[in-house]
């Protein structure tokens, strides 16, 4: 049923031949290769940029093949720990710029492209983003892969090859409209389909047990509907170090044999329908960021990824070590990116017990020493729970194992808190009720040897709140790993002008050791350096200005302050607070109160989950406000506003180098870490923010004088929530009062009366968990402070330099070094 599809001898000898011819190919230059692909692939004299891009990408991939093979061989020869990073999302973005830089092919590429009269930068623009993720969680996985390869770690990313990634966002009359993202339309030149790693994943059916001749009770999972998992590998090159790791993405396909059976019964249409069902699994990414969704297809994706990846790991192990798993945990570790792949826990138990005949305790030893869980959120709506009924139907054997894990674990709880029935119910993996559910976070904690949060504050809130009971039981499991971002993509590659200024002053070592940026503090009084720094920012702002003109038809002015908030649209991230402030400025300008004002361009961007009505309404408000502001010539000298559609990785690569002020204004205690905040900081933006997530640590690094802090603390938020009276804050703030009155009057919705009333209702509700009204006045004052500092361009630039200088700790290299030393022990 789950026997791996073995490579036939024939295909092995064939792959050997391929190897010989490939290594010959690898001797040829990049230019020869591109020439060959252009000639062969296209076979005609005319080619467009997309075709030339494909030719270059195929050529760069060929350059990686030898190192890719060497890396694989070396990792399997030497007894070193292998890390599997399991994630439903990898938000990779474009690959070309990163590959060319990491492989040190920049000059060669630029040189060869002269023959085709095209700039590398132009070619890069035609690559489709690999948008296989929603936001921060998926982008973190992508940054981690780059850091792992660059730190020479043997880490494989396991994910899903969604046919359709994150939807493309358009705006129609200010409303978000979703369009399918057919990112594979032109083919994916980076991927390699490797069918020798095919495995089969079972669904549905039922279980049965029998006692074998040795007296062991064995369980079999029968009458399953099997789905074929096919591996597509993407190369992950380290930064100039010869390592090429693998991102293995699974595609679901129909197995031939179950089709055949139905064909024989003459049930042709049923067979074709089943084939579609199998192929549906990896068709589309669920576009919900930080909210669970309970859909059956989502659970199928999770199990499909988990089972395929584990079978792959076990096949690798058995090939080298046979079926003795006593050392498995010494050489393998699995990092679960949130609970999304946590069904891997009972699946590994199943494979070891049912397929390899380990005893329960032996299997549990293996599982509980290899699984490590990263929690990404405290928001209750994001905690995954699967109904017992759905599991029973789809994965009956898995549910049995979950029940057994729970029973044994509850014995431990009962021992710890004798007679405490309430504790037992509260801590059970099974949430009872009319519709019992499996709490996946609890399952993950129980089975993992490590549970980490993603910023200091977040990890502290986990152990003092959400997972308090578990912390009492197993304090040693809990740890913090503050997120980071890769300085290759987010500084060296996206901001070449700043990168070369840094290198000119500091040498090139910062690219692999970002703490070197600290040395910038020596130049904060160097007038020449300040000038150069300003010029770089100015040039980057001009690039963004063009993008905004092209995408939004809004004229940004590079002499104005660029004030930016880009991230998924969510109430907790409080884009609404930002828009209220924009309306306040607008109102002040109309009143003629412009004496202390600094002209600003406010940019907002981000996608709303398609079913999230409030988030979509926030986009509509931003659009309408932008329209009113930009069409009033008395306002535009002081204020311009744009909502940039389709925010994605490639957009961020243009946005963060051009930003003066980075908006990180979530309700304290709600943003687990944030990583957008770090990208901005690296690129010399100054942050206006709350004491939330990694902002806390950013402030610690850069100092209060270089950070615009405002708002309630997480503790104060929890206090205030007990007895929250938004009206009290509205009465105390004439500014907020005016803003709400203006929205309520229909000023921004003349043709759509009342459309924004749900927003007013939310802000004025005593149940508003985001406490927008409570933080408004403090935010407004902080923004006044921003304006005051910005007027002194030298002072502002010094702040900017100090932010970049202090950003070294937020390199994902630092984060991954900690995962390596403290969790993976690799």
Ligand X SMILES: *Cc1c(COP(=O)(O)O)cnc(C)c1O
Is residue 813 within 8 Å of residue 509, measured between CB atoms? no
Query: Residues 556-579, buried b or exposed e (16+ Cβ, 10 A)?
Result: bebebbbbbbbbbbbbbbbbbbbb
The arrangement of strands across the sheet holding 332-337 comes to 192-203, 225-237, 244-254, 155-160, 82-86, 332-337, 371-374, 450-453, 478-480
Q: Between 143 and 461, whose beta carbon lies closer to ligand X?
A: 143
Stretch that binds ligand X, among 219-227, 333-341, 672-680, 708-716 (CB under 6 A): 672-680
Q: How many CB atoms lie within 10 A of CB 417?
A: 16
Residue nearer to ligand X on the CB measure, 428 or 575: 575
User: CA 23, CA 292: separation in Å to the nearest integer?
Assistant: 47
Specify the stretch interacting with ligand X by CB under 6 A; choose among 131-139, 168-176, 740-748, 783-791.
131-139
The reply on whether position 346 binds ligand X by CB under 6 A is no
Closest CA to 355 of 227, 223, 231, 219: 219
Q: Residue 681 CB, nearest distance to ligand X (Å)?
A: 12
Binding-residue total with ligand X (CB under 6 A): 12
Q: Does 676 bind ligand X (CB under 6 A)?
A: yes
Judge whether 294 and 388 are in contact, CB under 8 Å: no
User: What is the DSSP secondary structure assignment for residue 284, as one 8-state letter?
Assistant: B
Establish if 726 lies at the interface with ligand X (CB under 6 A). no
135 binding ligand X? (CB under 6 A): yes
**Which segment (50-58, 134-142, 307-315, 609-617) binds ligand X by CB under 6 A?**
134-142
Q: Which of 644, 652, 686, 739 binds ligand X (CB under 6 A)?
A: 652
The reply to whether 340 sits near ligand X by the rule CB under 6 A is no
User: Does 820 sit near ligand X (CB under 6 A)?
Assistant: no
User: Is residue 251 close enough to count as binding ligand X by CB under 6 A?
Assistant: no
What are the percentages of helix, strand and coil residues in the chain, rounded to 5? 55, 15, 30
Q: Is 695 in the site for ligand X (CB under 6 A)?
A: no
CB-based contact 95:190 (threshold 8 Å)? yes
* Residue whose C-alpha is closest to residue 797's, from 501, 491, 485, 494: 501
**What CA–CA distance (Å, rounded) separates 494 from 683?**
9
Nearer to ligand X, 230 or 691 (CB): 691
The answer to whether 578 contacts ligand X (rule: CB under 6 A) is: no
**Taking the complex as a whole, how short is the minimal distance between the CB of residue 420 and ligand X, in angstroms?**
39
Among 395, 457, 649, 686, binds ligand X (CB under 6 A): 649
Give dist(CA 162, CA 287) in Å, integer.
Answer: 12
Residue 157 forms beta bridges with which residues? 85, 247
Cβ at position 139, least distance to ligand X in Å: 4
By beta-carbon proximity to ligand X, the closer residue of 377 and 636 is 377
Rounded Cα–Cα distance for residues 652 and 138 (Å): 14
Q: Is 94 in the site for ligand X (CB under 6 A)?
A: no
For the CB of residue 565, give the shortest distance to ligand X in the complex, in Å.
Answer: 8
Q: Which residue bears the tokens 């949060």?
A: 453
Which CB sits closer to ligand X, 251 or 679? 679
* Residue 169 found at the interface with ligand X (CB under 6 A): no
Q: CA–CA separation, 82 vs 778, rounded Å?
A: 49
| Stretch binding ligand X (CB under 6 A), from 15-23, 50-58, 412-420, 644-652 | 644-652
Angle at 148 between CA 146 and CA 150, to 5 degrees: 65
Residue 139 within binding range of ligand X, rule CB under 6 A: yes
Please identify every residue annotated as catalytic: 376, 567-568, 573, 675, 679
> Which runs of E-coded beta strand occur in 87-224?
90-93, 130-132, 155-160, 168-172, 175-179, 192-203, 206-211, 217-222
Answer yes or no: are the C-beta atoms of 510 and 516 closer than 8 Å: yes
Residue 177, strand partner residues: 170
Alpha-carbon torsion, ordered 664, 667, 668, 671, to 10 deg: -60
675 touching ligand X, by CB under 6 A: yes
**Of 188, 623, 648, 659, which one interacts with ligand X (CB under 6 A)?**
648
Kindly state whether residue 136 participates in binding ligand X, applying the rule CB under 6 A: yes
Q: Establish if 333 lies at the interface with ligand X (CB under 6 A).
A: no
Instruction: Kindly tell me which of 652 and 799 has the beta carbon lying closer to ligand X.
Output: 652
Candidate segments 133-141, 256-264, 715-723, 807-815, binder of ligand X by CB under 6 A = 133-141
Q: Is residue 174 within the footprint of ligand X (CB under 6 A)?
A: no
Inter-residue contact 248 to 232 (CB < 8 Å): yes
Q: How far is the CB of 490 from ligand X (least distance, A)?
A: 8
Applying the rule CB under 6 A, the residues between 470 and 489 that interact with ligand X are: none
Binding letters toward ligand X, positions 557-576, x by CB under 6 A: ----------xx--------
Smallest gap from Cβ 674 to ligand X, in A, equals: 4
707/756 with CB nearer ligand X: 707
Applying CB under 6 A, the residues found at the interface with ligand X are: 135-136, 139, 567-568, 648-649, 652, 674-676, 679
């Amino acid at each position: 049923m789950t026997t791996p599809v073995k490579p036939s001898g024939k295909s092995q000898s064939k792959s050997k031949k391929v190897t010989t011819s490939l290594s010959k190919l690898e001797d040829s230059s990049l230019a020869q290769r591109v020439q060959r692909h252009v000639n062969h692939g296209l076979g005609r004299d005319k080619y467009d940029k997309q075709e030339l891009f494909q030719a270059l990408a195929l050529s760069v991939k060929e350059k990686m093949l030898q190192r890719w093979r060497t890396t694989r061989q070396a990792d399997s020869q030497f007894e070193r720990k292998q890390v599997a990073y399991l994630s439903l999302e990898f938000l990779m973005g474009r690959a070309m710029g990163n590959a060319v830089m990491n492989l040190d092919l920049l000059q060669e590429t630029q040189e060869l492209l002269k023959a085709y009269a095209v700039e590398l930068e132009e070619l890069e623009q035609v690559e489709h983003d690999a948008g296989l993720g929603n936001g921060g969680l998926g982008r973190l996985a992508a940054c981690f892969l780059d850091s792992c390869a660059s730190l020479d770690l043997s880490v494989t990313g396991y994910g899903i090859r969604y046919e359709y990634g994150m939807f493309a966002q358009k705006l129609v009359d200010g409303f978000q409209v979703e369009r399918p993202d057919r990112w594979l339309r032109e083919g994916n030149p980076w991927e390699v389909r490797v069918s020798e790693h095919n495995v089969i994943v079972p669904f549905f059916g039922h279980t049965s047990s029998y006692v074998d001749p040795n007296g062991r009770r064995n369980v079999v999972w029968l009458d399953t509907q099997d789905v074929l998992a096919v591996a597509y590998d993407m190369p992950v090159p380290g930064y100039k170090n010869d390592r090429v790791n693998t991102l293995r993405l699974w595609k679901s396909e129909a197995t031939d044999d179950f089709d055949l059976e139905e064909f024989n019964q003459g049930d042709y249409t049923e067979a074709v329908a089943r084939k579609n069902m199998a192929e549906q699994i990896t068709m589309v990414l669920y576009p919900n960021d930080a909210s669970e969704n309970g859909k059956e297809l989502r659970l199928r994706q999770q199990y499909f990824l988990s089972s395929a990846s584990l079978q792959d790991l076990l096949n690798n192990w058995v090939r080298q070590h046979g079926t003795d798993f006593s050392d498995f945990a010494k050489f393998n570790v699995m990092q679960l990116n949130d609970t999304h792949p946590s069904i891997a826990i009972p699946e590994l138990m199943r494979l070891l017990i049912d397929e390899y005949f380990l005893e329960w305790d032996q299997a549990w030893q293996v599982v509980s020493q290899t699984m490590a869980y990263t929690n990404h959120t405290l928001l209750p709506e994001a905690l995954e729970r699967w109904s017992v009924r759905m599991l029973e139907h789809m994965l009956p054997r898995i549910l049995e194992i979950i029940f057994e894990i729970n029973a044994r674990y509850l014995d431990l709880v009962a021992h710890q808190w004798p007679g405490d029935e309430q504790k037992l119910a509260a801590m059970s993996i099974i949430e009872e009720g009319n519709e019992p559910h499996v709490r996946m976070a609890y399952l993950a904690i129980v089975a993992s040897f490590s549970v980490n949060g993603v910023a200091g504050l977040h990890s502290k809130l986990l152990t003092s709140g959400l997972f308090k009971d578990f912390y009492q039981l197993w304090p040693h499991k809990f740890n913090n790993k503050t997120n980071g971002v890769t300085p290759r993509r987010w500084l060296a590659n996206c901001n070449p002008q700043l990168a070369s200024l840094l290198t000119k002053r500091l040498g090139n070592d910062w690219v692999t050791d970002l703490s070197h940026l600290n040395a910038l503090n020596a130049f904060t009084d160097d007038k020449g350096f300040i000038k150069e720094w300003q010029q770089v920012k100015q040039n980057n702002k001009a690039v963004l200005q063009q993008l905004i003109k092209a995408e939004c038809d809004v004229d940004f002015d590079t002499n104005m302050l660029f004030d930016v908030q880009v991230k998924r649209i969510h109430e907790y991230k409080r884009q609404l607070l930002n828009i209220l402030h924009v309306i306040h400025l607008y109102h002040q300008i109309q009143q003629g109160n412009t004496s202390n004002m600094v002209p600003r361009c406010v940019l907002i961007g981000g996608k709303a989950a398609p079913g999230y009505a409030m988030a979509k309404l926030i986009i509509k408000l931003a659009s309408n406000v932008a329209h009113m502001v930009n069409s009033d010539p008395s306002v535009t000298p002081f204020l311009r506003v744009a909502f940039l559609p389709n925010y994605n990785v490639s957009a961020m690569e243009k946005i963060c180098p051009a930003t003066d002020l980075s908006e990180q204004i979530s309700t304290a205690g709600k943003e687990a870490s944030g990583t957008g905040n770090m990208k901005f900081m690296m690129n010399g933006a100054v942050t206006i923010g709350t004491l939330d997530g990694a902002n806390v640590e950013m402030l610690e690094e850069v100092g209060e004088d270089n950070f615009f802090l405002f708002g309630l603390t997480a503790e104060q938020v929890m206090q205030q929530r007990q007895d929250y009276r938004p009206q009290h804050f509205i009465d105390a703030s004439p500014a907020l009062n005016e803003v709400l009155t203006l929205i309520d009057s229909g000023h921004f919705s003349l043709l759509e009366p009342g459309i924004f009333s749900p927003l007013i209702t939310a802000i004025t509700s005593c149940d508003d968990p985001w406490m927008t009204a409570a933080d408004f006045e403090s935010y407004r004052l902080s923004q006044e402070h921003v304006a005051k500092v910005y007027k002194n361009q030298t002072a502002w630039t010094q702040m900017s330099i100090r932010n970049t200088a202090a950003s070294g700790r937020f390199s994902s290299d630092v984060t991954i070094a900690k995962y390596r030393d403290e969790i993976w022990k690799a």
